[in-house]
Amino acid sequence: MALRVGVGFDSHRLAPGRPLLLGGVRIPHDRGLVGHSDGDVVIHAVIDALLGAAGRGNIGEWFPDTDEAFAGADSAALLARVWEDLAQRGWRLVNLDCVVVAQRPRLTPHLRAIQKRLAGLLGCPRGNVSVKPKTADALGLLERGEGMAAFAVVLVEVTEPAEAGPPPAGAPD
Ligand code: MG
């Protein structure tokens, strides 16, 4: 049995007229995150943590922001693709821990829904997924509510470690 840890980070600007998606959950707010995809900072951080743990590259290699195929992409679907690749290689999630940095809206009422969605996407019990909100005192753009950021750490395990293989260029191999 091999255990591997991975870390991920992401941040995006907020703008009016965009839906706010965090961890694949629509959060009521007067603005949303701007990105090539839907800007879901939580899922992007989780994807990078998973890919890092498994030695499978990074989100930019899988889903380049220069590729129109991923314009407006549903980040939950991107996570599902990444996790399918890792699960096929025998990886299992031990646990996921995330911090979401957001001045507003208040995320506490939405944490259970986010944890449930992430656990569903990763095929694990909800208790294996933690999502913690933090406000952003003294962090400039974040404090002024002009953006959001997320950090993620994962622990994954595999019974028989396989050769990680090269990360795919734009799509899973
Ligand atoms: Mg991103």
**Residue 154 Cα to ligand 1 middle (Å):** 17
Q: How far apart are CA 89 and CA 164, in angstroms?
A: 9
pLDDT in the model for residue 1: 83
167 pLDDT tier (thresholds 50, 70, 90): low
Residue 172 lies in a domain: no
Residue 60 lies in a domain: yes
Residue 38 lies in a domain: yes
Structure tokens at 24: 């694949």
Please name the residue that has the structure tokens 């991975």. Answer: 6
Residue 26 lies in a domain: yes
Residue 166 lies in a domain: no
Distance from chain centroid for Cα 1: 25
pLDDT in the model for residue 68: 84
What average pLDDT does the segment 146-156 reach?
A: 92
What average pLDDT does the segment 68-87 reach?
A: 92
Give the 3-state secondary structure of the chain: CEEEEEEEEEEEEEEECCCEEECCEEECCCEEEECCCCCCHHHHHHHHHHHHHHCCCCHHHHCCCCCHHHCCCCHHHHHHHHHHHHHHCCCEEEEEEEEEECCCCCCHHHHHHHHHHHHHHHCCCHHHEEEEEECCCCCCCCCCCCEEEEEEEEEEEECCCCCCCCCCCCCCC
**Residue 35 Cα to ligand 1 middle (Å):** 6
Range of the domain at 146: 2-158
Q: How far apart are CA 11 and CA 37, in angstroms?
A: 13
Q: Per-residue pLDDT tens for 18-53?
A: 999 999 999 999 999 998 889 999 999 999 999 999
**Residue 76 Cα to ligand 1 middle (Å):** 12
Count CB atoms within 10 A of the CB of residue 137: 8
143 pLDDT tier (thresholds 50, 70, 90): low
The closest alpha carbon to 167, from 89, 72, 69, belongs to 89
Average pLDDT of the chain?
89
Residue 78 lies in a domain: yes
> Which CATH number goes with the domain that contains 67?
3.30.1330.50
Residue 24 lies in a domain: yes
Q: Per-residue pLDDT tens for 105-141?
A: 999 999 999 999 999 999 999 999 999 999 877 566 6
**Residue 166 Cα to ligand 1 middle (Å):** 22
- Answer left, alpha or beta for residue 33, where phi above 0 means left and psi between -120 and 50 means alpha: beta
pLDDT in the model for residue 14: 93
**Residue 158 Cα to ligand 1 middle (Å):** 27
Q: Is the pLDDT of residue 173 over 50?
A: no
Q: How far apart are CA 67 and CA 71, in angstroms?
A: 7
142 pLDDT tier (thresholds 50, 70, 90): low
How many domains, the chain?
A: 1
Residue 84 lies in a domain: yes
**Residue 1 Cα to ligand 1 middle (Å):** 32
